[in-house]
Amino acid sequence: MACGFLLEAGMTFSHGDYSRIEEVKEKADTAEKLFRKSLGYCPDHRAYLGLGIIRQRKGEFKESIKLLEEG
C-alpha cells in the first residue's frame, strides 16, 4: 500500500536512520512531503503525528496542535 510506504519513508527522514546523517539535507522538509503525500492515499494518525512533531520543532505550535487534533 502506497500510504504505508510513504509513511515509513517519512519516519526514516524524521526519526530514523536518515535523521542522524548530516550529509542528508532538508530532512524535515522531505519527511513533511512524504507524510502529506501518504495522507493523500489514506488517513493515518502516524502521519499526522509526524507532521505535528515537525511543526512543533519549527516552533509552529498552533499548527502542530491543529494537526495532532486532526490525527
CA distance 35 to 5: 10
pTM, to two decimals: 0.89
Per-residue pLDDT reduced to its tens digit, 2-24: 888 999 999 999 988 898 999 99
pLDDT at 2 (0 to 100): 81
Question: Is 45 buried (19+), middle (13-18) or exposed (0-12) by CB count in 10 A?
Answer: exposed
Residue range 42-61: average pLDDT? 95
pLDDT at 3 (0 to 100): 82
CA distance 45 to 38: 11
pLDDT confidence tier of residue 27, bands split at 50, 70 and 90: very high
Per-residue pLDDT reduced to its tens digit, 34-43: 999 999 999 9
All structural domains of the chain, each given as residue ranges with its CATH number in brackets, are 2-70 (1.25.40)
